Structure 1
Amino acid sequence: ADRYSLGHLLLTGSTSKDAIASWCSVILLAHLIADNPKRKENILNVISAVGQSPTGAKTLLEITIDLLKNVN
């Protein structure tokens, strides 16, 4: 069954302490957004939303840390 999304796997891999997993995840992300303006725009929207978040709201980094702590 599909327990994890592609985004979850990329996020987990790119923040891994394993250099190879991190490298592979970042390379995959680069290939996914290469020559795809819509995907690049979606990523920029996430960055923009984090930059405009009100005080007390979780940042993308905090959400990532929470996900990594709760991985079963």
Structure 2
Amino acid sequence: MPRILISCPAGAGVVSTGYRTQDVDLAADRQPRSFRCPCGGVHTWDASTAWAEDGMTDSAKRAYGLRERA
């Protein structure tokens, strides 16, 4: 399953949140989640800041509530 990614707000680039699309359904669960980033910080993310890595179909992205990559 594709990983859920965000852009690190501290400038580390695109990073994995540690979740996969099978682990969380962002269309149903709008709660923010947090993770320890490779930059050393703890970041919070939700459906408005996350997307699935390449390889996930557009319809599956919509089903999981993931936005298109910015």
TM-score, with length taken from structure 2: 0.23
- Structure with more of its chain in helix, by fraction: 1
Greater gyration radius: 1
- Structure with more of its chain in strand, by fraction: 2
TM-score, with length taken from structure 1: 0.22
Q: Relative contact order (alpha carbons < 8 A, sep ≥ 6): 1 or 2 greater?
A: 2
